[in-house]
Structure 1
C-alpha cells in the first residue's frame, strides 16, 4: 500500500474567475454585514418592556433554535463533516428574527415592520451562503443561476446532433443529455449525461474509447460534476494534451432525488446499484461504442460517490477494472451499523453484508487486475471531520482514515493494487475537482483502448 501526497498546493481555490464568487471575496461578507445592520434597525431601542423582555426572548429563541437544529442534524445522519460555527450562528439569528417580527409587530412603525419582514428571508439567505461555502456547491452567481434554472451544460448538444458533428475537428468535447433506461432496476432516476471527447468525433464511426463512470455525493444531481466540480476544463485540457483523446465520462444519477442517500446500494431507497450496473453501463456500450470489457471501464466517485466507486469495483471486478474513491467511507453507511442496516436495507443484515466491501473482500477470490486510488483530506485540516452532505457514520477523522487504510490493506491482500493519497484541503467540490485531475493520468493508463472486437455494436 502506497501513501502519497499529490504534488502542487493549488487547485483548491474557492473563487471562480469567470464570475462573482459565492465562496469567497466581497459578496458573502457584504451580504452578511448588510443583514446584521438591517436586523439591528428592525430590533431598535423601542420601549423599556421591549428591551427588558422581548429582546432577551428573541436571543433565547435564537439559541434554542440553533441547538435544536444542531441536535436534529447530528441525529439525522445527513452529514458527518462538522459544519462551520457560522452556520449555527445564522440559524440562531434567523430564529431570533422571527421573534422580532412577531413580538414586535404591534406598536411598531410601518418601516420597522417592513424591515422585520425583510430580514427573515435575508437571514435564511445567509444560512444558504454559509452552507454553500461549507460544501463548495455553487462557485459563482452565474453557475448558481444556470443550475437553478436547469440551463444547458457547457458544450451540451442533443444526441440527434451527434452524426452531423462527426468529422469536424473541435478543441473541446461535447456533453450529451441521455435518456438511460430503468428496465433492469426500476430506479426512478433523473437526467444523466455523457461527455464525448474530440477523438470520439474523428473518423467515420465512433472509436473504441474507454469510459469512466462519474458519481457525485448525496445532495446533488448528475450534472454537478460539471457545474460544481468544474470537471470539463480538466478533461478538455487532458484531451488537448493527448491529441484529442480522453476517456468518455458518464455522469450518473445515483440518488433519484436531491436528498436521497442511496449509497449506491439496492434497498428501500431504490435499486441504485442495479441502475448503474445493469441500466447505465449497457446503455453506454451500445450507444457510444465503449467496449463492454471491464478493462475499458473505471469508476470515480466523490463523497458518497467515493464510497460507491470502491464498492462497485470490489463487488463487480467483471464490470469495473479501476476506481478512484475521493473522500468516501470505508463502506456504505448512514449512521451506526444498526442505523445503516435499517435505513439502507430495511433491517436486512444479509443485504448489508452483500454491499459491505470488507465483507465482500473477505469472501472473494483474489482479484486478477483491479486497482484503486483513495483520495482524502488530511485529518485536522480546518473544521473538517469527515465527508459532508453524504450520509452518516463515524465522525472522527482519524477513525475514518484508519478505516480507509484497513480497506486498502485488505484489498491489497486480495490482489488489488491500492494506494492512499492525502490532501491538505476541506471537503468541497474544489477538492473533488483537484483530486480527479491528479488521478486522471493514472486512471487513464489503466483503461486504454481495447481491440475493435471487444466493442459493442453502435446503434
Structure 2
C-alpha cells in the first residue's frame, strides 16, 4: 500500500507550476553561477569568455532553428509562437555554455558542467510544456489514468425532464451532489471496428441521481499527439463544469472524450481511411450509440456538441457539418483549415486510396457548403499568437455563416496554440452553449426562447477580460 501511495504521489506532481519547475530552474541557475564564479578569477577569464561566445552563438542558432521550424516551414502544421522560440533559444544558450564548460574545464567543474546538460534539457522541456500546458503532471507524461471504470457506478436511465428536475430541486425533493464524477470507459466499436483507446466520461451531479434529467452532451476531442485523458487533465474543463453545475442545481452537460486516433503518434484525420480505420464511423455511430444506450442524455441534436483542441478542433469542424443529424453545435479551438498529415497528395493516396473526393468531403468549408443551409451553431476560438489559427477561424466562420450557421468567433489574448486558449474559450462558451441547450431553466423555454437570457450570456462573453468576441 505504501508503494502504491508513493507512485500516486509521484504521478500527481505538477510540472507546469509549483515547486517542480522552480526547483529545475533554481538548480540550473546555481550551476551557472558556480561555473561562472569559479572561472572569473585571473587566468581563466579568457576561457570563460570563449564559453560565453559559444553560448551566445548556440542561443542564436537555436532560436533561428526554432523559428525556421515554427514559422519557416511550419513543420508541425502550426506556429510554435514566440514564447516557445525564446524558450528554445535560452535553452540552447545554456546548453552551449555548459557543453563548452565541460570541454574546457577539469575536475569538479567538469562534473558540474556535465550534470547541468541533462538538467538544462529537462528545465527547457518543462518551460516549453508549461507554455502549451499539454502535460500537467508527471503521470500525464505516461498517460496515467487513475479514474475508476464507469462499471463501478450505477447510472440510472430512468429520467425526468430538465424542467421537472429544477422543480424537484427547488422544492427540496432532491438535493444534487456537489461534485461530478470522472470515469474511464471502453466504448465498443461494432460498426467501425476502430481500435480506440479507453475514453473518459464526466458525469455532472444531476446525472448521479436516482432519476436524473435528460442532459445535453459534449463530445470533446484532445489534439494529436494526445489522448482522451489529456482533454481533462490539460485543461480547466472540470473546474468550469463543476462551477456551472453548482450554480444550476447540479445541471451541466455530460462530457465524453473518446479516442479518435488509436495512438498518440497517429492522426486518423477523423475519417474512414485505409490507413488507420473507420474513425468517422466510430465517432458518429459507435460513440453516439453507446452514449444514448448508457447515459441519461437528450436525443435532440440541438443538445449535442462536438468540439476539441487542435486536431480535435479540426475534427469537430469536419464532423459537425457532415453530421447535422447528430451534432447541433460545434466548439473548436485552434483547429486547422483542413485535416492534415503531410500534403494533400500524400493524404489522398495514403489515407483515401487515391479518392480525392473522399478527402475533399472532410475539408470543413466543403462540408459546410455541402450541407447548407443549416441552423447549427459554431463557436470558433484561437489564441491571438497563433496567427494561422486566427486566419482559420475567420475562413471557416465565414463559410459557416454563409451556410446559415450561428457563429461566434473568439480570439484569446496572450495565448497561442495552447491549452490556455482552450481554458479561456471553454469558460466563456460553456454557459452560452448550455443556455442554448436548455440548461438555464429560469424564465426561458427550450431552444428558441429566452432571448433576454441569451443576450445576457452574449454580453458576459464580450465583457470577459482576456478575450475578444466576434459575431
2:115 aligned to which of 118, 124, 130: 118
Structure 1 distance, partners of 2:336, 2:78, is 12
* Counterpart for residue 108 of structure 1: 106
CA distance in 1, matches of 2:94, 2:355: 41
After superposition, the Cα gap between the structure-2 partners of 1:48 and 1:147, relative to the gap in structure 1 and judged at 3 Å, is: closer
For residue 278 of structure 1, give the secondary structure of its aligned residue in structure 2: helix
Mapped contact 2:224–2:266 kept (Cα < 8 A) = yes
Distance 1:412 1:35, change over 3 A: same
CA 1:185 to 1:97, structure 2 compared with 1: closer, same or farther past 3 Å? farther
Farther-moved stretch of structure 1 (19-28 vs 64-73):
19-28
Q: Higher mean Cα deviation, 73-82 or 304-313?
A: 73-82
| 2-structure distance, mates of 1:279, 1:26 | 43
| Aligned-partner SS, 1:301 | strand
Structure 1 Cα separation of the partners of residues 420 and 313 of structure 2: 15
Correspondence for 2:339 among 332, 339, 342 = 332
1:246-298 CA distance string (max 9 Å, x none): 11110122233334344423443554323222222211111213344423321
- Tell me, yes or no, if the aligned pair for 1:157 and 1:174 is still in contact at 8 Å: no
Superposed counterparts of 1:319-398, under 5 Å: 319-334=326-341, 337=344, 341=348, 348-367=355-374, 369-378=375-384, 384-386=385-387, 395=388
Question: Which TM-score applies when normalising by structure 2?
Answer: 0.73
Runs of 5+ consecutive residues of structure 1 not aligned to the other structure: 1-18, 379-383, 387-394, 450-459
1:11-410 maps to which residues of 2 (within 5 A)? 28=21, 31-32=24-25, 34-39=27-32, 41-42=34-35, 45=39, 60=57, 63-64=60-61, 67-68=64-65, 71-72=68-69, 74=73, 76-84=75-83, 85-93=85-93, 95-96=95-96, 99-100=99-100, 103-104=103-104, 108-109=106-107, 111-138=108-135, 143-148=136-141, 156-163=147-154, 169-204=176-211, 206-267=212-273, 268-334=275-341, 337=344, 341=348, 348-367=355-374, 369-378=375-384, 384-386=385-387, 395=388, 400-410=389-399
CA shift, 1:148, in A, is: 4.0
Q: Name the CA distance, whole Å, in 1 between partners of 2:240 and 2:197.
A: 25
User: Per-residue displacement from partner, 1:3-25 (whole Å, max 9, x unpaired)?
Assistant: xxxxxxxxxxxxxxxx9985578
Secondary structure, counterpart of 2:154 in structure 1:
helix
Query: Match for 1:445 among 435, 443, 452?
Result: 435
State the superposition RMSD in angstroms.
3.6
SS of the residue corresponding to residue 163 of structure 1 reads coil
Q: Is the 8 A contact 1:86 1:130 kept in 2?
A: no
Deviation at 1:214, TM superposition (A): 1.0
Q: Residues 357 and 160 from structure 1, CA distance in 2 versus in 1: closer, same or farther, beyond 3 angstroms? A: closer
Higher RCO (CA < 8 A, seq sep 6+):
1
Change (3 A) 1:114 1:322: same
CA contact (8 A) 2:410 2:425 kept: no
Unaligned runs of at least 5 residues, structure 2: 1-11, 158-173, 440-471
What SS is found at the alignment partner of 1:212? strand
Shift in CA distance, 65/340, structure 1 to aligned 2, threshold 3 Å:
farther
Q: Secondary structure at the match of 1:209?
A: coil
Aligned partners of 2:132 and 2:419 also within 8 Å: yes
Q: Which residue pairs with 2:7 in the alignment?
A: none
1:299 Cα deviation (Å)?
1.2
Q: Report the TM-score, using the length of structure 1 for normalisation.
A: 0.75
Q: Structure 2 vs 1, CA of residues 71 and 375 (structure 1 numbering), >3 Å: closer, same or farther? A: closer
Distance in 1, matches of 2:91 and 2:347, equals 28
1:213 is paired with a residue whose SS is strand
Aligned residues: 403
> CA shift at 1:239, angstroms?
1.4
Q: Distance in 1 between matches of 2:150 and 2:106?
A: 60
Aligned to 1:15: none
Structure 2 contact 102–114 (Cα < 8 Å) conserved: no
Which piece of structure 1 moves more, 119-128 or 40-49? 40-49
Q: Write the distance in 2 (CA, Å) between the matches of 1:345 and 1:39.
A: 53
Is the 8 Å Cα contact of residues 381 and 393 (structure 2) preserved in structure 1?
A: no
